Chain A
Amino acid sequence: MLQSVLNPGPVSDGVTARDTHLAAYRHMLLARLLDEKFAGLYRAGKIHGGVFIARGQEALSVAIGSALKKGDVFAPLIRDTAGRLAFGEPVIDAVRTYLGSVLGPMRGRDGNVHRGRPREGYLPMISHLGAMISVVNGTLFARRLKGITGTVGATCIGDGGTATGAFHEGLNQAAIEKLPLVLVIANNHYAYSTPNDREFACRDLADRAAGYGVEALSVDGTDLSACLKTAGEAVSRARSGRGPQLIVATLLRLCGHGEHDKAEYIDPKLKNSPVGRDCLKVAEELLLRQGWTDAAALAGLRSDVMREIEEAVAQAQREPVPDPFAEDWCAISSRHLSETHTE
């Protein structure tokens, strides 16, 4: 698989494979180090609730985020730090949400991975798995009604999420309406602690596509080049009117479900197999092997990225946190219809 993308040459409009890979790698590294920063802040007691990191899933996530354009719709899930950044989320949005700054997009009302800017097509996930698929469908359906063409919507889910009714309803609905949806399954082999064989019984999750009448693409989720190619292909197929596209990526979660979880249930055999490779290292090796970068440039990049993260954290830590006395405690926008009896 790797052979076909070793020398892909110019991709389009003068953007070369080198540029694409370097940009993707930068977002992967930024995501990895940002996640590690959150984990550190969590251990230091600076973050309330949980921290959910994406170690091992950066290549897949960055690929889908990079394949989308401004104006597309993206509903990332729990392990999409890289995809969010590639789609255009500023680092400060992520930091403010984790730290509960009132200046962040969720204003301390929601936290961690539940962040987004729905007016900009960046949808904030709810915790109930599968629930974002039909919401993305709705945005695409609305655009069709409004006569807007050429945009796509992408959303991500894990192997466990494929067992929900919402997954089935959402993908079936997208297929019926032939919506430009790209549904990305990151099969990281564990739904919290539950292995694949307790979540589904089909041979391969990609086999499900036929049952819905949609196209499937399978990819090695540890291989950045393959992920970029596959996500690009899926997005361009959806954009050209071929209907929903199902991507199934195989990879391994290289961390716990959250930072509270030691993940002792992960089979060491999987860790030591090719699926357990660290996609960030794989990407780095590729960049060096291709001569697209060198060790000094990588070290410089790492220190630039770290500085960006530290600055964002320092800034958000100085910002105001929510004040319960200033909070208006009104759950609807039609204030005249709000309940007068609130206690």
Chain B
Amino acid sequence: MDFRLPLMSITYLEAICEAQAQALRDDDRVFIYGQDVGAFGGAFKATKNLHKEFPGRVVDSPISEDAMMGLAVGAAIEGMRPIIEMQFADFSTVGFNQIVNQAATLFWRTNLACPVTVRLPFGGTSGSGPFHSQSLEAIYAHYPGLVVMTPATVEDAYSMLLEAVAIDDPVIFCEHKFLYYHLKADKLPSEALPVGKARIAREGRDMTIVAYSAMVHEALEAAAELAPEGWEVEVVDLRTVKPLDTDTVVASVARTGRLLCVGEAWPWGGVTAEVIARVTSEGFGLLDVPPQRLNAKDTPVPYHPNLWTAHRPTPQAVAAAARRLLRL
């Protein structure tokens, strides 16, 4: 028996399940609606046992993403706080209209807030292919009226999901499927950084890598790879991509003078482009070299592991991009 194992550990996925249980416990207005979320406990088991513990409040929906979101908006109008589980982020595009035109416009048009949380299991895992791997944070962040969260740690998955439910506005909660089982923590947090505030995941003085969600871990691995070469790389975890904590990013670039943005989403537009646009317009003089970014390739997400690992930024690819930037 290995006594070094922690007595208790909790995964990113279990933290999401526990946050929902907590939200259901704390607030009668909360309910969960989504495909297979009831007795089955969800495709990823993110609602495991909740159906039993909270009868009538964890409800199976038909395969109707548009109507799922519409129902959530209607319920929010009546004062409820629905959590919608999209089985995969990819399928949220079927409910896109209700998210961006109904939920996201309600407050601005009518002064009535729309407290809906939309959980999007997103991002690539090996073998998932073009329709079960997408990263859609940028298209939701593009629309006014939405908050877009991208937690990278077990602690953030838990605390930010509770915040998402508590916030009066629609929140797109992007939870990374690769982190579901791979990421573990000893315990759930009792406090957290405020929503909208980025986190310095690793301190360094030579360059800044800005990342979010699973890419924070790829960036940290790249930073560790570069350390023996003498480079001290700072990693900023955005935590929420909307609002975007420009101040923390610009402050980091002020310390390092070099910026690399890493995202798993496609390159055109998007979060990495937004970060670079802001840093160049608000902190141009802080940059010693032109800022760079690294994204997935501009193709659908491939199925085979050989193609998939080449499609998305890996720690090695991040380290290589960082080396190029450091030598400029």
Complex contacts, A316 vs chain B, CB 8 Å: none
A131 beta carbon closer than 8 Å to chain B: yes
B76 beta carbon closer than 8 Å to chain A: yes
Give per-residue flags for B61-96: 1 if the beta carbon is below 8 A from chain A beta carbons, else 0.
110101111111111111110100000000000000
Taken together as a complex, chains A and B put the C-alpha atoms of A140 and B75 apart, in Å, by: 8
Taken together as a complex, chains A and B put the C-alpha atoms of A126 and B169 apart, in Å, by: 18
Q: Given A139-B78, A334-B147, does the pair A145, B31 have CB atoms closer than 8 Å?
A: yes
Q: Given A134-B98, A146-B78, A337-B147, does the pair A166, B107 have CB atoms closer than 8 Å?
A: no
A114 beta carbon closer than 8 Å to chain B: yes
Q: How far is the CB of B247 from chain A (nearest CB, A)?
A: 8
Interface centre among A145, A165, A176, A338 (most CB of B within 10 A): A145
Interface size on A, residues (CB 8 A): 47
Q: Given A166-B97, A173-B62, does the pair A143, B78 have CB atoms closer than 8 Å?
A: yes
Contact A172 B70 (CB under 8 A): no
Q: Which of B35-78 contact A (CB under 8 A)?
A: 56-57, 61-62, 64, 66-78
Taken together as a complex, chains A and B put the C-alpha atoms of A333 and B113 apart, in Å, by: 6
Q: How far is the CB of B105 from chain A (nearest CB, A)?
A: 7
Give per-residue flags for A95-110: 1 if the beta carbon is below 8 A from chain B beta carbons, else 0.
0000000000111011
Q: Given A166-B66, A169-B64, A173-B67, does the pair A141, B74 have CB atoms closer than 8 Å?
A: yes
Complex contacts, B147 vs chain A, CB 8 Å: 332, 334, 337
Taken together as a complex, chains A and B put the C-alpha atoms of A331 and B243 apart, in Å, by: 12
B119 beta carbon closer than 8 Å to chain A: no
Taken together as a complex, chains A and B put the C-alpha atoms of A101 and B282 apart, in Å, by: 38
Closest A residue, CB atoms, query B33 = A141
Closest B residue, CB atoms, query A123 = B77
Which of these, A141, A172, A341, contacts B62 with CB under 8 Å? A172
Which of these, A107, A131, A331, contacts B98 with CB under 8 Å? A131
Interface size on B, residues (CB 8 A): 51
B269 beta carbon closer than 8 Å to chain A: no
Contact B110 A116 (CB under 8 A): yes
Q: How far is the CB of A127 from chain B (nearest CB, A)?
A: 8
Taken together as a complex, chains A and B put the C-alpha atoms of A175 and B120 apart, in Å, by: 26
Contact A339 B242 (CB under 8 A): yes
A276 beta carbon closer than 8 Å to chain B: no
Contact B73 A135 (CB under 8 A): yes
Taken together as a complex, chains A and B put the C-alpha atoms of A141 and B32 apart, in Å, by: 12
Interface centre among B71, B98, B168, B244 (most CB of A within 10 A): B71
Complex contacts, A127 vs chain B, CB 8 Å: 101
Complex contacts, A114 vs chain B, CB 8 Å: 109
Taken together as a complex, chains A and B put the C-alpha atoms of A135 and B73 apart, in Å, by: 6
Contact B112 A141 (CB under 8 A): no
Number of A-B residue pairs at CB separation under 8 A: 149
B144 beta carbon closer than 8 Å to chain A: yes
Complex contacts, B66 vs chain A, CB 8 Å: 131, 134, 165-166, 169-170
Contact A339 B67 (CB under 8 A): no
Complex contacts, A109 vs chain B, CB 8 Å: 108-109
Give per-residue flags for A126-152: 1 if the beta carbon is below 8 A from chain B beta carbons, else 0.
111001111111111111011000000
Complex contacts, A131 vs chain B, CB 8 Å: 66, 70, 97-98, 101-102
Taken together as a complex, chains A and B put the C-alpha atoms of A116 and B68 apart, in Å, by: 22
Contact B278 A142 (CB under 8 A): no
SS class, residues of chain A in contact with chain B: helix
Complex contacts, A331 vs chain B, CB 8 Å: 104-105, 107-108, 144-145
Complex contacts, A333 vs chain B, CB 8 Å: 107, 113, 168-169
Contact A138 B107 (CB under 8 A): no
Q: How far is the CB of B326 from chain A (nearest CB, A)?
A: 28
Which of these, A119, A128, A135, A336, contacts B112 with CB under 8 Å? A119
Taken together as a complex, chains A and B put the C-alpha atoms of A279 and B202 apart, in Å, by: 72
Q: Given A118-B110, A172-B62, A337-B167, does the pair A141, B105 have CB atoms closer than 8 Å?
A: no
Taken together as a complex, chains A and B put the C-alpha atoms of A170 and B102 apart, in Å, by: 14
Complex contacts, B282 vs chain A, CB 8 Å: 341
Q: Given A116-B110, A119-B112, A143-B78, does the pair A337, B195 have CB atoms closer than 8 Å?
A: yes
B317 beta carbon closer than 8 Å to chain A: no
Closest A residue, CB atoms, query B77 = A118
Residues of chain B whose beta carbon lies under 8 Å from any beta carbon of chain A: 31, 56-57, 61-62, 64, 66-80, 82, 97-98, 101-102, 104-113, 144-147, 167-169, 195-196, 242-244, 246, 278, 282
Residues of chain A whose beta carbon lies under 8 Å from any beta carbon of chain B: 105-107, 109-110, 114, 116-119, 123-124, 126-128, 131-143, 145-146, 165-166, 169-170, 172-173, 176, 331-334, 336-341
Q: List 11 A-B contacts (CB under 8 A).
A: A126-B102, A128-B97, A131-B70, A131-B98, A133-B70, A134-B74, A138-B73, A138-B76, A145-B75, A176-B62, A338-B243
Given contacts A169-B70, A334-B147, A337-B196, 17 further A-B contacts (CB under 8 A): A106-B109, A107-B111, A118-B110, A131-B70, A133-B67, A134-B68, A134-B98, A135-B73, A146-B79, A146-B80, A169-B64, A173-B62, A331-B144, A333-B113, A333-B168, A337-B243, A340-B243
